Chain A
Amino acid sequence: MGRYEVLVEVRLRPGIADPQGATVERALPALGFDAVHRVRVGKAVRVEVEAPDEDAARSLTADLAARLLSNPVIEDAEIVTCRPAGPDPRQLPQAATGSAPAAGGGA
């Protein structure tokens, strides 16, 4: 089993009013961002999954995205990236930063 870090973008479906995006867009001219258009505000959800390979990690995350992370009535979910996960920061040995406090330490 490998561990994969998967980034999911949840966004409002085309045609669904996006008051947040519209509000951000209205603020742009005052800041001089005249070249920026069609602002849509969504969500990014980053998860780490255990799976035998990348395809399996993608398919598991797609299922999660459809059932929980998005509401298909108004939102689309897309897997933006899927890559082997780095070391779990909670399990990193402290040695990397020099002085090593007692194992399991932390504030």
Chain B
Amino acid sequence: MSVTVGVVTFPGTNCDHDTMEAVERAGARAEPLWHGTASVGQVDAVVLPGGFAHGDYLRPGAIARFSPVMGAVADFAASGGPVVGICNGFQVLTEAGLLPGALQKNRALRFVCAPVDLQVASDRSVLTAGVEVGRVLRVPIAHFLGNYTCDERTLAELRAEGRVVLRYVENPNGSVDDIAGVCNAAGNVVGLMPHPERASDPLLGSTDGLVLLRALVGSAGRRAGGGDGGPAGGPPGVSESARTA
């Protein structure tokens, strides 16, 4: 039984095709989902990819969160289904209330597009299950509003519960506590600003994104009961980075 990952397209999404390609490289079948359809079908996981849904008008994610598909995504998440929001998808998940906090303008008021080093801070999420905590992955970011912010109580909760999933080794945008990605209490809803799909081929300079996507496929496979969702992130300590030293 192979794992199917649904990838949602909103008007203005522009990383959907890359994400589908990368998900397939991670060993799953990719299925396109349309924002206007109030269903996620029979998928085993959902990814909200990057882009500029509804032009980012008002605030990124503010309008996308009311798309018909989002009700189905919320139901899927509530039933334990793995949901990952990448960049704009992360913004949509915070606007929808599926993840805490919000993403503010970068501290330097500049769009930052660069490969960055991420440290895996928790393996309690569907995106990092089986990945060694402390492992450093090189994955690009590309955003203007990636400055993660939340109140102190939420931050204390995230830290105490191991819900800070990824941290920047060098903070590129002013995010509180160097946060690059967080998850919900159950660990099945994850948001991250970096783009794993842009680190999924040696030609792109890194294949570290596949570590995360394989972990997602593995988590989805275990939940689906197949048990053959592929290795969750590969053996610890084995670098999949293709970047030259």
Contact = CB atoms under 8 A, between A and B. Distances in A.
A17 B102 contact: no
Contact of B149 (A23, A68, A74): A74
B78 interface: no
Contact of B107 (A17, A69, A71): A17
A74 to B, nearest CB: 5
Contacts of B58: 68-69
B222 interface: no
Give chain B's interface secondary structure class: loop
Given A17-B104, A20-B105, A73 B174 contact: no
A1 interface: no
Given A71-B62, A73-B101, A74-B102, A16 B149 contact: yes
Interface string B47-58: 000000000001
A17 B149 contact: yes
Contacts of B101: 73
A9 to B, nearest CB: 14
A92 to B, nearest CB: 28
Contacts of B59: 71
B164 to A, nearest CB: 17
B104 A74 contact: yes
A19 B107 CA distance: 6
Contacts of A20: 105, 109
Contacts of A19: 104-109, 147, 174
A2 B180 CA distance: 48
Interface residues of A, number: 10
A40 B3 CA distance: 48
A23, A68, A71: which has the most chain B beta carbons within 10 Å?
A: A71
Interface string A65-78: 00011010110000
A68 B62 contact: yes
A68 B96 CA distance: 11
B224 interface: no
Interface string A45-78: 0000000000000000000000011010110000
A71 B109 contact: no
Given A16-B149, A20-B105, A71-B95, 19 more contacts: A16-B104, A17-B104, A17-B147, A17-B174, A19-B108, A19-B109, A19-B147, A19-B174, A23-B109, A68-B58, A68-B63, A69-B58, A71-B59, A71-B62, A73-B94, A73-B102, A73-B149, A74-B104, A74-B149
Interface of B: 58-59, 62-63, 66, 94-95, 100-102, 104-109, 147, 149-150, 174
23 contacts: A16-B149, A17-B104, A17-B149, A17-B174, A19-B104, A19-B105, A19-B106, A19-B108, A19-B109, A19-B147, A19-B174, A68-B63, A68-B66, A69-B58, A71-B59, A71-B102, A73-B94, A73-B100, A73-B102, A73-B149, A73-B150, A74-B104, A74-B149
